[in-house]
Amino acid sequence: MLHGGSSILNNMTGSRKPRGVEEIGQVLVVGFDGTEITPPVSSLLTSLQPAGVILFSRNIKNAEQTWRLLRQCQKCVSTPLFSCVDLEGGSVDRFRDALAAAPSAADVFATGDRKLVRRHGKLIGESCRSLGFNVDFAPAFDLAFAASRNVLGSRAVSANPRDAEIYAREFLAGLRSANVMGCGKHFPGLGEGKLDSHRELPVIEKTLKRLWAEDLLPYRKLRRQLPFVMISHAAYPRVTRDRTPASLSKIWITDILRKRIGYRNLIVSDDLEMGGVLSASPIGEAAVNFIRAGGDLCLICHREDYIVGAYEALIKAAERDSKFARRVAEAARRVAAFKKKHARMLRAGKSPSGATVGKLTRRLWEFGEELRLDAFSRQGDKRSRS
């Protein structure tokens, strides 16, 4: 959705960038409308030079078009892009029309077969890679407590944190085998959240002791396997003593995730356009506070005026506050170092052939059928025992 933001961006870029913060765009991952690069989108990406782009179903018609769109994005940006998608399977499936439906996390985990979980990750990873993506913001680490059942549904696999860890470990390994980087989300956990953070701010009344033993366990165990961690827009007042979303909280991002858990890779916000965070801060303030709290990548998934507003707020804050300028520079350096370390995974593959697309489509369908037969068999076993 374009709102005249490019003209604003053209007027405020260039010499206004403060010394020491030459790559503010490298703390942003952005989305846009459309299935091709329009002149306004090209202008935005060229001016902004973001760390990455994220595509959704609105951007994806078929495999070859999606690969071409991502290549066009890369041509606008001088550094290797994080080409991101949010693909878990089930209700969160951006490739349903371009390829075929992928099963949900809960359906795969219900088989009790770790090899199938890894296959799930590998198949989703191969689908991502074939269409040109190198980052999948999956899997969800959230625990399947009763409170969040209506919100998370089949995205969460179990209320047992050990089960969630097992699923996440195997899924991430599957993605990695396909040369795709995964992401643990939604830190510190939405399992007890009754509200959907897309629209409202969930307030989770849970102590740090309980969160540490339950929701945070998968992050603690997998901290070295996670390329990205995504921070939720939920409040935890028994930890922070206020209703600040975790995505804007130094306690959560720096003190707990970085220092206490010891996570060393990239920290990305959940979409800063979501109601859960905008109820606490306007978009520019949210971007600044996320970076100030210790985050590395602001995710802004749709509106150009929001993207430009966040970019401008980051520059203004860095101009006014040398400490914040150093924090932005630190985040940009962390992103640059990460990209250098993972340069091989960021390289684009070949355009997908018809044969490749056909094979992936068939494998997705066969995998779904295998799970349906497994579920039918398990139901039959239950009836025979009753």
What is the per-residue pLDDT across 110-162, written as a single tens digit (0 to 9) for each? 999 999 999 999 999 999 999 999 999 999 999 999 999 999 989 999 999 99
The per-residue b/e assignment along 288-308, b for 16 or more CB within 10 angstroms, e otherwise, is bbbbbbbbbbbbbbbbbbbbb
Reply yes or no on whether the pLDDT at 21 is more than 80.
no
Residue 90 is predicted with a pLDDT of: 87
Residues of the chain with CATH 3.20.20.300: 29-144+171-181+342-368, 182-331
Angle between helices 322-341 and 304-320 (to 10 degrees): 120
pLDDT of residue 259 exceeding 80, the answer is yes
Find the catalytic residue in 93, 107, 270, 271: 270
* 51 neighbors 29 (Cβ within 8 angstroms): yes
Mean pLDDT of the 155-175 span:
96
pLDDT at 385: 61
> At 54, is the pLDDT very low, low, confident or very high (cuts 50, 70, 90)?
very high
Is the confidence at residue 85, as pLDDT, over 70?
Answer: yes
> Do the Cβ atoms of 309 and 284 come closer than 8 Å?
yes
β strands within 144-232, DSSP E = 183-187, 228-231
Name the pTM for this structure: 0.93
Q: Which tens digit of pLDDT belongs to each residue from 346-382?
A: 998 889 999 999 999 999 999 999 998 887 777 666 6
pLDDT of residue 22: 56
Is the CATH code 3.20.20.300 the one for domain 29-144+171-181+342-368? yes
Q: What is the pLDDT of residue 15?
A: 41
Q: Which amino acid is located at 220 in the chain?
A: R
54 DSSP β-pair partners? 84
Q: Return the pLDDT at 45.
A: 97
144: amino acid identity, one letter: A
Burial of residue 78 (CB within 10 Å: 0-12, 13-18, 19+) is exposed
Active-site residue, 270 included: yes
The pLDDT tens digits for 264-280 are: 999 999 999 999 999 98
Query: Span 304-327, mean pLDDT?
Result: 96
Model confidence at 58, pLDDT cuts 50, 70, 90, reads very high
For residues 261 and 256, what is the distance between their CA atoms, to the nearest angstrom?
A: 6
pLDDT category at 9 given cuts 50, 70, 90 is low
Sheet holding 183-187, edge to edge: 183-187, 228-231, 266-269
Contact 273, 3 (CB under 8 A): no
215 is catalytic: no
Percentage of the chain beyond pLDDT 70 is 92
Give the pLDDT band of residue 19 (cuts 50, 70, 90): very low
Which class does domain 182-331 fall in? alpha beta
pLDDT the model gives residue 1: 42
Cβ atoms of residues 33 and 63 within 8 Å = no
43-57, 87-101, 261-275, 281-295: lowest mean pLDDT where? 87-101
How far from 159 is each of 209, 235, 313, 325, CA to CA, in Å?
17, 20, 40, 41
Does 296 have pLDDT greater than 80? yes
Cβ 83 vs Cβ 134: under 8 Å? yes
Q: What is the average per-residue pLDDT within 246-250?
A: 97
The distance from CA 204 to its chain's CA centroid, rounded to whole angstroms, is: 21
Q: For the chain, what is the total number of helices (H) and then of strands (E)?
A: 17, 8
* Residues 232, 189 contacting (CB under 8 angstroms): yes
Residue 324 has pLDDT above 60, yes or no: yes
What is the per-residue pLDDT for 374?
A: 80
Q: Could you tell me which residue, 17 or 183, shows the higher pLDDT?
A: 183
Q: How far is CA 303 from the centre of its chain?
A: 17
Q: Residue 139: is the preceding peptide bond cis (ω within 30°)?
A: yes
Closest CA to 192 of 201, 182, 202: 202
Residues 34 and 52: their CA atoms lie apart, in Å, by 17
